Structure formats: structure tokens, C-alpha cells
Structure 1
């Protein structure tokens, strides 16, 4: 969906679909009709919509089309990308398909984020921060997209997990993570990313409290004990059904997290940045089972 408007990108499914898996339909829900089609030679893994562009992700290639007339603008070769991972910054032409590509300056920067395959990533709203998680799902790393430097590393847990989604808050002060373990985590990001180029840290009391609360009590022995004991942990958590896929985002209301499950469930939760811990439920609704609404 393009923002909150009536334009959607639809891709054919594998069974009983009205169009094949190699076709993208641009659908106007207000007119209830298809207003454009893009046909490709191989299966479409995912689609990203921007105000002026349509980005189509295949297994080893990304195509960028002009929204107005579907003219092909760019072709980008990638490594194998079975999940169709790609993030498009809405305010510019910057795109991250497993690497950071600055179209404005025609520079490509590769970030060696993890030893294992990347499973999920997300951009901050201004495009200066990139959060990544690997197929191991234990660590999440935050990078500066301008120079590729590692800014922060946080730990989701000790055991392997499949990361489903990552999301920055609008101010890039918080990072939310969901996985197949059924727990949504919220991490405090310690750097003042609004003044990233000046390398300053947050000096607000709220950020200081929440950052210190998620660092292991054995962090003073960093370099002696394994890295696990000096890890930065989540400030707040919310436990859901294990194994079910959930997508997370931050709400407009301060310190609120929105969670959408593939079973039709919707949660709106609030966390306390000072004390952390279990989030408070503000709203629940199931779009597929309205009778379960609280």
C-alpha cells in the first residue's frame, strides 16, 4: 500500500490466483480496478511503493520503475534474496537491498553486518540509520548509513530465532523487534541520532535511565567474560503466541507500539521508558474474528 491511500501493489499467488507470480498489478481500490501492470521473467519476491517509484524485488535483481508511466529507471543486481528484502526511504531515492545504495550521489556502500545471512532490516525515517538482524536472530545491529560504521549492538536473546520485523520510532530513540519466539522487544538507542554527524550522545534523563536498565549487571567485566554477559537487552517486552508471524511499528502516541499478526490480530501497547518491563495493553482487535475484540 502506498502510505494510507487507495493505491496497492498486488502480486499473484501460487494457487488459485488471478495472475501469475511474475506479475505486479497496481490496484486502485477507489475505482476497484487495475490501473497498471508490470510483467517480469521470474517470480516477484516483494514490492515497495514510493511516491514516485515502484520497486520490484526478484531473487537476484531489483527493478525501479517510474510510478507515473511505469518506465524502467534502474536495474540492480543483488545476491540471492529469497525473502525479497528491500527497504525504500520514502523521502528520497535511497534504497537498501542488503547493501546501502545512495542514488543521489551514485555511491554504493557495502556493510558487513553479520557473519550469517541477513534475515531482516529497517531504515530510520531520515535514512541515516540501518538496523539489521541475521538468520541466527540473537543480535540486532544499528549502523550509520553514511559511513557504514557500527553504532550499537543489542541482544534479543541467547537462542536462535527468526526475526520477522524491525522498526524505528519516528525519533530513532527506540527500536522494536518481533520474532518467532512470540515476544516483541523494544530497545533504547543510546546515540543522539538527530546530531549523528557530531557524534554526540543523548543527555536526557529518560534516555539515560532506559539505556542503563538494559545493560547486563556483569558488563563491568567486558573483555573477560563472553560478550553475552555485557550485552544490551530490551527495555520493554510483550509476549504473544509463539510461532505466529507479527509485524511491529510505533504509533503516533508517545511510547506506543502497534503489532499486527498474520491471524488478523491487532494490538496497541504502551511501554514505560523509565521502568520498562511488560508493556500495558491499550487496545486489541481481530479483523478475522471480530467477536474476540476486547
Structure 2
């Protein structure tokens, strides 16, 4: 008789909420013990507050200032659910509160502005000479998810909220966002300012979907917005100034619950994450800034659509890169792996998917070109899970994946042979998964080749060894294509518990 024992952490982490600030420079998390503020990368605990007599459901920072907006929640709410409490962390106390007649469902902030989402309306406040004033409110359809998004870049004006009809988006123009003061934390480069003060929109509503919205995101400049719905398969990118559809992207075939969409800093790509536990990366435009063709995957039958009337599915675009986050049961093995060594990486089951939040950052990396080594800035992803896990992911180059064609059409593989990758996808210097030494020093660039790593990593991040092709013709090349589309785990940390995880 075989008995299986499940291993559980001695003191589990109960992360109630985790979210980035507008520029992904810091993130906040709240647990049953209180809340903390971290620098996003390299991950550093900046401040923590142990709170008694209740828990929080939202801790929303305002840019990189000391002002935070707190909302009670959890099993034992610290504050009534219909209040937003203003907390000044510089003095460590409450400095004000906003009370409503119904539960607060969501928040969005911009420099000196606060947007509060309620069940059927969104209320906007502004700070004038240190005093908060009510600006205006707009009616919406039933907004149980508390959807609201606002552009945060210099001179941006866009506020997006659900429309009065299900699946619609209402576009609101606020006064232009003023230039930011010098930030106390190292800043991340942002897109060039875009003057929207004289921009006009043909209509203030976009009929985005026929089913209720699940996410609503805005690019920092206010030029683009993204929507997803309960249909759970499509991500739509819209031009905020013309109201036209820019791109329709497909996450997969089966229904999923989208958790969020995030625009890259230069607004050329988006990442999407859902309850499937997978992060997907898409190109937004047909060509990038260097003129390379979009690397989003498409059906092999897509070239025939001008000549044959085919279902819309065959014109869809899929992500050019993705990463599957390990499930909660794999985090223990992954954590212990960072302090162990071995010759053969062992497989860690992905397990059950968990909720996460993902954001873009820029990381300096060293690259070698024509025998000259220089430092360049590379876009990477940070994924924060509700079990207190922090992942830094590098993304395959678009120039490598642009020649890859999707081998899956309605669940069946191509009968033809897919061209194999000429070389492994480029990544940061050497591309090795950080060793335990590298993890303690996040600034250190890994130098060991990826194939010699001794860390037992999840199957989605482990290096793949070539093996003889077996089975159907082209099957080995399809595997190579899939590997070329996988993001690489560069660093893993833990957060959310103040006794040594920071």
C-alpha cells in the first residue's frame, strides 16, 4: 500500500492583494498581518506596517509618493467596505477618509487624482493644495469587478470606465496630467509625451464586446486601451482617439477568466494573464520600430482567407511567447532548489494555477556585439503571485520568433514540416538561470550557459535537451518551435512575509 503525503508550508502566506504602481517601479501587498511596499526590481522591502484589528483588501500607492489609499476587506475588515482611507506612510497614520453609500469595488490613481469604482458609478476626486475635492461622477452598467483605468503619462487625459451597456467602454477626458516631480526611486524610461489636449473622439463610447467586460487597461500615454470579456478568448486593442479596433488577439481556444492586460513601456507589446496560470505576450502592430514583421503566430490557413471564406478563427493571432507559472505545490520545491545543486534538473509539476499580477520593467543587461561588450536596457516581465512568489522573466526576441508559424489549427498539427530554429532564442548575457549566488546579487549578470544550470526549475523554465525525432513527421521541429517561444525564468524570490522573505 502506497501512501502519499502532501507537503505544506509551516506558516502559509495569505496574500489578500498585490498590485504595481503606475510605472511598475514599486508594488504593494497586504496580508493578514498588515501591508508592505517593495521596490519592484531589484526586489527590496522599502516599508512595512503591522496592523491590528482587521485586514485590508486594497493598498493602492499614488505614484512613488508616501500617500496610500486603503480599503478594508478580507475575513475581518479593518475599515467599513464603503470607505477609502488616506494613509500617509511618512507619518504612519491615517490623514483622511472618503465615505460612500455602497461598497468600494476598485481604485485607479493618477498624479493628484483618485478614481473610485462603485457598483453603478465611478466617482473622481482631485487634490488641490493638499485638499481632496470631488470632481465629477459618471454612471456605468453593473460593475462588480470595479473596472476603471486611467492614463498616467505626462499630458495624458484618458479615463476609461464601463459604459451603460454591457460590454461597452466609456471614454472620458480629464484635465491633462501635469509633469511629475523628481522621483525618489530610480525611474524607468517612458514613452515620449503625447499632446492630447486638443484631441477629439468621434464618440465617447466603444462597443467593445457583446458580453460583460472582465478587464480594462490603458496605455500610459492614453493612445491605446485594451478590453477582454467573459467570453474568455479574445483581447481587443483599441485606438483611444478614433475608437477603431487596432488588433484582435486570441489567448486560446478554451474559455478563461482574464485577470489583467499590461502594455509595455514603448506600447508596442502587451502581456495577458488569466486563471490558466499562463502569461502570454503579443505584438500590437504589424511591424515593430525596426521594421520587423509582427511575430504573432497565425493559423497555417490564414494566407487562404483572401481567396476562401473561412471562419474568423483562422484569421486569429496567437501570442509569440508565453510562460506557465508553477502552481502553489511547486513553489516549495522551487524555493528549496535555489539553495541546492545537482547535475540533472528534476521536473516540478506545474500544479494548479493561481492568481497573479504581471508588469513590465526594464533591466540593464550586457550584450556582446563585434567583440565589444556593452550594456543595454531590455524589457522583461515581473510576475507576482498571491502565494507570495516573485518571478523575473526574459522574453524571446521577436526577430527569432517572427519566422515561426503556428502548427496548431483547430487542435490538429500541420501535416507539413515546420522549419526548425536556426539557433536558440537570444536572451541576456549567456542566458543562464541565476544560481543561488546570482539570486542573492540580482545585479550580477549570469555567465554560465543555460545548458549547464544545476537548478531544479519548473518544466516551463528548464533547459530542453535535444532528442531524436519520433512519431509524426515534423514533430521534433514543432517541439523546437514551442521551446523558442517560451520565456525564461531569470530570477525567483519570495515576498509577503516580513520575517525573512523580503
**Contact 1:85 1:120 survives alignment (8 Å):** yes
1:96 matched to 2:167:
no
Aligned to 1:83: 145
Separation in 1 of the partners of 2:498 and 2:392?
A: 16
Q: What does 1:100-249 correspond to in 2, within 5 Å? A: 100-104=171-175, 109-191=204-286, 202=288, 204-205=290-291, 207-208=292-293, 211-222=294-305, 224-240=309-325, 241=327, 242-249=352-359
Cα distance in 1, alignment partners of residues 94 and 497 from structure 2:
29
| CA pair 225-17 structure 1, distance change in 2 beyond 3 A | same
Q: Which position in structure 2 is the counterpart of 1:197? A: none
Deviations 1:56-114 (Å, cap 9, x if unpaired)?
11001111112231211111111110000000111334210122112357976111111
Q: 5+ unaligned residues in a row in structure 2: which ranges?
A: 1-60, 163-169, 176-197, 328-351, 364-377, 402-484
Which of 372, 376, 382 aligns to 1:258? It is: 382
Equivalent residues of 1:131, 1:166 under 8 A apart: yes
Deviations 1:8-40 (A, max 9, x none): 110111532221000000111121101110011
Q: Which stretch has the larger CA shift, 98-107 or 77-86?
A: 98-107
Q: What's 1:198 paired with?
A: none
The CA deviation string for residues 111-170 of structure 1, in whole angstroms up to 9 with x for no partner, is 111111110021112101011111122010111011110011111001000000100101
Q: 1:183·1:239 contact (CA, 8 Å) conserved in 2?
A: yes
The change in CA–CA distance for 1:282 and 1:291 in structure 2 (over 3 A counts) is farther
**TM-score (normalizing by structure 1):** 0.89
* SS of alignment partner, residue 298 of structure 2: coil
Mapped to 2, the partners of 1:292 and 1:135 lie a distance apart of 40
Q: Is this contact kept in 2: 1:140–1:155, CA < 8 A?
A: yes
RMSD (Å) for aligned C-alpha atoms: 2.2
- Which residue number corresponds to residue 83 of structure 2? 23
Number of matched pairs: 281
Q: Is the 8 A contact 1:14 1:20 kept in 2?
A: no
Other-structure match for 1:50: 110
- More displaced, 2-11 or 39-48? 2-11
Query: Contact 1:14–1:21 (CA<8 Å) still a contact in 2?
Result: no
- Rg (Cα) greater in structure: 2
Residue 314 of structure 2 aligns to a residue in which SS? helix
CA offsets, 1:173-226, max 9 Å, x none? 1100000011100001115xxxxxxxxx54624x41xx2452222211225332
CA contact (8 A) 1:264 1:287 kept: yes
**1:290–1:267: structure 2 CA closer, same or farther, 3 Å change rule?**
farther
Q: CA deviation at 1:49?
A: 1.9
Q: Which residue of 2 aligns with 1:278?
A: 486
Query: Could you list the runs of 5+ residues in structure 1 that have no partner in the other structure?
Result: 192-200
The structure 1 segments of at least 4 consecutive aligned residues displaced by more than 3 Å after TM superposition are 103-108, 288-293
Check the 8 A contact 1:23/1:39 in 2, yes or no: yes
3-state DSSP of counterpart to 1:274 = helix
Secondary structure of the 2:303 match is helix
Query: TM-score, normalization: structure 2?
Result: 0.53
- 1:196 alignment partner in structure 2: none
The answer to whether the 8 A contact 1:286-1:292 is kept is: no
Is 2:287 the partner of 1:287? no
Q: Which digits, 9 at most, give the CA deviation of each residue in 1:225-282, with x for residues without a partner?
A: 3222221110110001343111111112323111111111111101112334110111
Contact 2:282 2:296 in 1 (8 A): no
Contact 2:283 2:296 in 1 (8 A): no
